[in-house]
Amino acid sequence: MAPLGKSHAVIMDPELMHSIVGSYLKTPERVLVPSFTQNDQSAPTHHSVSLEVNLPKMLHSPNSQALILALKTLQEKIHRLDLERTQAEDNLNVLSREAAQYKKALENETNERNLAHQELIKQKKDITIQLSSAQSRCTLLEKQLEYTKRMVLNVEREKNMILEQQAQLQREKEQDHLKLQAKLEKLDVLEKECFKLTTTQKTAEDKIKYLEEKLKEEEHHRKLFQDKASELQTGLEINRILMSSVSNPKRSKEKKKSSKSASASHSVKASRQNLLQTMQHYGPHILPKRAEVTEPRRLYKPTRSTSQRKAVPPDSGKSICICNNVSELLMAMQDELDQMSMKHQELLNQIKETESHSVFENAECELEHLVKKMEIKVEQISKLKKHQDNVRKLQQKVQNSKMSEASGIQQEDNYPNGSNNLKNSPRKCLLNNPLQKSSNFHPIRVRNLQMKLRRDDIMWEQ
């Protein structure tokens, strides 16, 4: 209401500011009417009644016109105030309605705010729940991430270990490859040596065959020569017997024959003992090889008489048996060498075809052991062949000495005075032979044998 009074003070006419009626806000400065001032708070009807009572008095006053005018203005002012009051009431109603609407709007707004606040709280709760769940998920994800990191580290560590193992295996594989290459080179060298040995063995066998053929030819020529010598010997013996039969009687002839047979057997035994001593002097290995040389010669020997068979020494059978044993041993060793070479080839094929490291090492060890055995066997065979060749040579020398001895005895028997004129006689060869020089067959003893032996007592050793 204060702004309303203020507006009336502004609207009031300035002429009435110093009038009797005055103003509600400010009392007049000239005339003070107590009725108006005291009953300022009374109703408007009370003012109208007091004015009607005092009107006749006022009409007769000198200032009646002014009073009338003042009353008129007062009425107008009262009417105006009523209008203002009604307007103010209308305004108040409007304000109350607006206040109610505002209050309602405010309540709605507060309700909305409360609802919004509750919704916000609910959203906050949901957000906090979601945040807590997200945080728990984050912690779980962190744990999973940590576990994944550990797994990655373990995998990287294992990967590094696997790479190191692969590198080590690669190095070992390269070393094994180098070792295998070296062993293959050694194997190639051994194969070349084995091939050389086989070639040398083949050449040696070819030479042996060639020598055997030559030996057969020599044996054939020797047989022819011995046949001719036996024919000459028989002729000489026939002539000697005829000459002795003419000069001597039968009794002396029989006594002489008996004495000759006894002395001849004695001399044959002595010569045999001297020959054995000579062979023992040159070495015991001559005896077993003698049979090996003499055995093929017996194939060409003609059938002998019973006296010749009785004169065969018992040591010759032993020498033949020993020689056969040596040849069988040589053949057995050759068969073993062939089996070893076959096994060597099988091991080479196995080494080339195999892929296992352990099988390769085992086969390689067996191959080295087999190569050593083959080398030892080849050395043994070569030594045995050398020994056999040496024995054959010595046996040939002994046989030649025996042949020369027999031919010398025959020539001295037929030509006792012309033995010195023969330049190329077997006796001269016998005397030039170092083996015969070392023996005890002196010319005197040979002459005694010549005089004592008969044709049937002589045995040709072949």
Q: Is residue 450 part of a domain?
A: yes
Q: Is residue 45 part of a domain?
A: no
Residue 442 covered by a domain:
yes
Highest-pLDDT range among 29-33, 53-57, 67-71: 67-71
Question: How many structural domains does the chain have?
Answer: 1
pLDDT in tens, 145-157: 999 999 999 999 9
Backbone angles phi, psi at 356, to 5 degrees: -80, 140
Q: What is the pLDDT of residues 120-168, one digit of tens each?
A: 888 888 888 988 998 898 899 999 999 999 999 999 999 999 999 999 9
pLDDT top residue among 403 and 233 = 403
pLDDT at 39: 41
The answer as to whether 456 is a domain residue is yes
Say if residue 269's pLDDT is above 90. no
pLDDT digits (tens, 9 = 90+) for 205-237: 888 888 889 888 888 888 887 787 777 777 676
Query: Is 155 within a domain?
Result: no
Structural domain includes residue 310: yes
Its domain, for residue 298, covers 259-462
pLDDT for 324:
62
Residue 446 lies in a domain: yes
Place of tokens 């507060």: 110
Residue 176 in domain: no
Q: How confident is the model at residue 10 (pLDDT cuts 50, 70, 90)?
A: very low
Q: Model-level pTM?
A: 0.25
Query: How much is the mean pLDDT over the chain?
Result: 68
In the chain, the percentage of residues whose pLDDT exceeds 70 is 55
